[in-house]
């Protein structure tokens, strides 16, 4: 059995609070979907398949909208770079950004840099839960991300992120008690090399 990541354009402007409606629509197509996430750009989920998927593609196009991505997961993340992670993050493709960052984290040998990468992994994981409509889980993971950032600011230039100010923004969101996506573009530094 193969596992695929499917992303469908969110033309109906579904929100994470409407995930049960999306699940009902998908259940009408197949029972082989899992891990549904909703961003303002796309509805994304895993699909488990044993064969020809043309009928599934047609049904998805008819029931939810235009398919943006339909790719096998085992080969989905060959490139592991912070630039790719930033690009995916900006597109609200947090699960994929999380996967790319995990690849970087596994290869990293410096413990402080490893902690900072892990804080970004947690930030992405928080947003995956938010996209699933699990706001309290999202806030808890945001707290863990902020804690990881707190101890290692001196290493942040090598990862080209102003972690100190990003952490302040995360703490603001936690204090508000309502998770929301933080644009990391203002915290990205362009003058350092990775």
Q: Which CATH number fits domain 2-75: 3.20.20.10, 3.40.50.12780, 3.30.360.10, 3.30.70.100?
A: 3.30.70.100
pLDDT digits (tens, 9 = 90+) for 23-56: 999 999 998 999 999 999 999 999 998 877 888 9
pLDDT digits (tens, 9 = 90+) for 115-137: 899 999 999 999 999 999 999 99
- For the chain, the three-class secondary structure string (H helix, E strand, C coil) is CEEEEEEEECCCCCCHHHHHHHHHHHHHHCCCEEEEEECCCEEEEEEEECCCCHHHHHHHHHHCCCEEEEEEHHHCCCCCCHHHHHHHHHCCCHHHHHHHHHHHHHHCCCHHHHHHHHHHHHHHHHHHHHHCCCHHHHHHHHHHHHHHHHCCHHHHHHHCECHHHHHHHHHHHHHHCCCCCCCCHHHECCCCCC
Q: What is the pTM of this model?
A: 0.83
Residues 82-187, CATH architecture = Orthogonal Bundle (1.10)
């Amino acid at each position: 059995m193969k596992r695929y990541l499917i992303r469908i354009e969110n033309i109906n402007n579904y929100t994470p609070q409407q995930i049960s409606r999306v699940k009902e629509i998908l259940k009408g197509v197949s029972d082989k979907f899992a891990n549904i996430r909703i961003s303002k750009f796309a509805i994304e989920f895993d699909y488990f398949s044993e064969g020809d998927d043309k009928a599934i593609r047609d049904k998805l196009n008819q029931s939810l909208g235009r398919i943006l991505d339909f790719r096998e997961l085992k080969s989905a993340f060959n490139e592991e770079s912070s630039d790719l992670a930033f690009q995916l993050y900006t597109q609200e493709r947090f699960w994929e950004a999380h996967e790319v960052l995990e690849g970087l984290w596994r290869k990293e040998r410096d413990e402080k840099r490893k902690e900072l990468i892990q804080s970004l992994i947690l930030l992405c994981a928080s947003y995956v839960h938010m996209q699933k409509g699990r706001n309290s889980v999202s806030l808890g993971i945001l707290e863990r991300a902020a804690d990881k950032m707190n101890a290692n600011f001196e290493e942040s230039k090598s990862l080209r992120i102003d972690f100190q100010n990003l952490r302040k923004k995360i703490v603001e969101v936690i204090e508000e008690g309502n998770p929301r996506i933080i644009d990391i573009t203002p915290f990205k530094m362009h003058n350092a090399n990775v």
